[in-house]
Amino acid sequence: MEDKYLPQIGAIADEMGLRAYAIGGFVRDTFLQRSITDVDIMVVGSGIALAERFSQEVKRPVMVFKNFGTAMVRVGEREYEFVGARKESYNRDSRKPIVEQGTLEDDQRRRDFTINAMAFGLNADNYGFLLDPFGGVCDMREGIIRTPLDPDVTFSDDPLRMLRAIRFATQLDYTIFTETFEAIKRNALRIEIISQERITTELEKIIRCPKPSIGFKLLEECGLLKLVFAELSALKGVDRVGNRAHKDNFYHTLQVLDNVCERSDNLWLRWAALLHDIAKPQTKHWEENIGWTFHQHEVLGSKMAGRIFRKLRLPLGDELRYVQKLIFLHLRPIVLSEDEVTDSAVRRLLFEAGNDAEDLMLLCQADITSKNDEKVRRYLRNFEIVRSKMVEIEEKDRIRNFQPPITGDMIMQFYGIEPCRMVGLIKEQIKDAILEGAIPNEYQAAYDMMIEIARRDFNLEITLPQ
């Protein structure tokens, strides 16, 4: 039990005639040797009073939350949260408990899982003594997530605990105890009383895990996924015509997500992996002599991402635009890897992907889940060709995030015209010529081309000298 301030907290508790315990995640993570930033202190009596005394001794401010009966003191990298022991009861329409003062035993019984119900004594007469009434240490040893009491009561009282069970199983690579998992299935519909923000927080914690597929498979198996993320659940299943079937896009998506997680901890890249094929159910079509197709699923998928972000209360700014861009472009490098890798195609990819080109390539590499080893080797070999051409063209042509040397405002000034369609057409032809390599990405070449296009296509003569 390594924490320099816990003996001090115990000594203060003795002086005040209080019983104090470190409880919950601190105890669990001490056994699991995980990094610890939060220390929960449970006090039989007033947690706020103990927090205030502790803050005076360490000369750090105390934040008091009287409505919740808690207080927090931050010292260094750790936050010490103090709360009085309590017992809880619930009414069916809310996960907010009716709280009463309680004993140590009451407080441990109200905890969600056995691994979170353990406590270390902090007073002089029991300092460091483990109180583990529900076998949390044994469950950690066996890798089990289990509720201390009747799981139906636990999950009905606070349905968020169902998502937490799956999240802990994913984070720790544990198994959910059979009786506990069956109770999640029985109580899945209770999730409707939980706010979207709380649900999304748990989904993101699953996505941040080293292998998120564990959690999403459990969510699907217990029936929660269709309730909290119906679009992802809709990917599951395989259709057949004769002997020809498409792959199960749910399991493919989870493999892509796991592949991305092996290479990057970028949360929004992980979201892009989760959503990259989200529109396949809507675009699925059988074509004779071709088979199953999903035409334009990248276009529809980028639009669906906006609706999903709004529904899940995710950010609607740069994060959404980044995810939409990767979904929209995720087929482009694969097409390049199948065909001859031309300079103009790579220029367009660099232009459209901008600073996210490397992330796009990572997503596309993760998207290769074929069981055909030769096909995988061919894709990976060609991806390296694409990457090397990207570097070469970027160094030579400075295409990434480029703005055409001739702007719309400049065209209007040169020709003394108002905003109109022809300004956009001239500008677009200059941009395309640069991307195709017909002219260099330089002002003079772009200016000369503007003169040519304006005279040839629109019978315009320049009115303002260069």
| 1-21 pLDDT per residue, tens | 678 899 999 999 999 999 999
Mean pLDDT confidence for 33-49: 93
Q: Is 273 helix (H, G, I), strand (E, B) or coil?
A: helix
Q: Is 275 helix (H, G, I), strand (E, B) or coil?
A: helix
Q: Are 115 and 145 in contact (CB under 8 A)?
A: yes
**232 vs 67 pLDDT, higher one:** 232
What pLDDT score does 273 carry? 98
What pLDDT score does 265 carry? 96
92 pLDDT band, cuts 50/70/90, is low
What pLDDT score does 68 carry? 78
What pLDDT score does 88 carry? 60
Percent of the chain with pLDDT over 70: 94
Mean pLDDT confidence for 175-196: 96
262 pLDDT band, cuts 50/70/90, is very high
90 pLDDT band, cuts 50/70/90, is low
**H or E element at residue 129:** none
Beta pairing, strands 78-84 & 70-75: antiparallel
What pLDDT digit, counting tens, does each position of 190-245 carry?
999 999 999 999 999 999 999 999 999 999 999 999 999 999 999 998 888 877 77
- Look at residue 392 and tell me whether its pLDDT is greater than 90: no
Strands (E), 102-222: 119-121, 130-131, 144-145, 175-176
Cα(384)–Cα(174) distance, integer angstroms: 37
Specify the long-range contacts of residues 50-59, CB closer than 8 Å, at least 24 apart: 50/9, 50/12, 50/13, 50/16, 50/18, 50/20, 50/82, 51/80, 51/82, 53/12, 53/16, 54/5, 54/8, 54/9, 54/12, 54/80, 54/82, 57/8, 57/12, 58/5, 58/8
What pLDDT score does 1 carry? 66
Q: Are 115 and 134 in contact (CB under 8 A)?
A: no
- How far from 104 is each of 70, 116, 296, 309, CA to CA, in Å? 16, 14, 59, 42
Structural domains present in the chain: 6-136 (3.30.460.10), 143-228 (1.10.110.30), 408-458 (no CATH)
What pLDDT digit, counting tens, does each position of 421-430 carry?
999 999 989 9
Helix 318-329 to helix 343-353 angle (10° resolution) is: 160
What pLDDT score does 2 carry? 78
- Look at residue 400 and tell me whether its pLDDT is greater than 80: no
- Look at residue 99 and tell me whether its pLDDT is greater than 70: no
What pLDDT score does 150 carry? 95
Buried b (16+ CB within 10 A) or exposed e, 125-155: eeeeeebbebbbbebbeeebbbbbeebbebb
Cα(204)–Cα(271) distance, integer angstroms: 9
What pLDDT score does 385 carry? 81
Mean pLDDT confidence for 326-338: 84
131, β-bridge pairs = 119
What pLDDT digit, counting tens, does each position of 348-374 carry?
888 888 889 999 999 999 998 888 888
Most confident range, picked from 100-104, 180-184, 444-448: 180-184
- Look at residue 338 and tell me whether its pLDDT is greater than 70: no
What pLDDT score does 71 carry? 95
9: Cα within 13 Å, side-chain hemisphere = 30
240, β-bridge pairs = 245
Our CA angle for 354, 301, 436, nearest 5°, is: 35
Residues 6+ apart with CB under 8 A from 235: 248, 249, 250, 253, 277, 278, 280, 281
- Of 165, 128, 125, 142, which Cα lies nearest the Cα of 27? 128
Percent of the chain with pLDDT over 90: 67
Cα(254)–Cα(274) distance, integer angstroms: 7
- Of 96, 270, 105, which Cα lies nearest the Cα of 198? 96
Residues 6+ apart with CB under 8 A from 111: 24, 117, 148
What pLDDT score does 113 carry? 97
Q: Is 122 helix (H, G, I), strand (E, B) or coil?
A: coil
Amino acid type, 27: V
What pLDDT score does 218 carry? 98
**394 vs 354 pLDDT, higher one:** 354
Question: What string of DSSP letters covers 198-262?
Answer: HHHHHHHHHHTSS-THHHHHHHHHHT-HHHH-HHHHTT----EETTEE---HHHHHHHHHHHHHH
Mean pLDDT confidence for 393-401: 71
What pLDDT score does 394 carry? 78
78, β-bridge pairs = 75
450: its two tokens: 């503007």
67 pLDDT band, cuts 50/70/90, is confident
Cα(287)–Cα(159) distance, integer angstroms: 44
Mean pLDDT confidence for 61-89: 88
**H or E element at residue 19:** strand 19-23
**H or E element at residue 101:** strand 98-101
- Look at residue 272 and tell me whether its pLDDT is greater than 90: yes
What pLDDT score does 33 carry? 92
What are residue 84's phi and psi, to 5 degrees? Answer: -75, 145
Q: Share the mean pLDDT of the chain.
A: 90
- Look at residue 466 and tell me whether its pLDDT is greater than 60: no
Buried b (16+ CB within 10 A) or exposed e, 81-99: bbbbbbbbeeeeeebeeee
Mean pLDDT confidence for 446-463: 89
Neighbours of 305 (CB within 10 A): 27
What pLDDT score does 335 carry? 74
255 pLDDT band, cuts 50/70/90, is very high
Mean pLDDT confidence for 31-51: 93
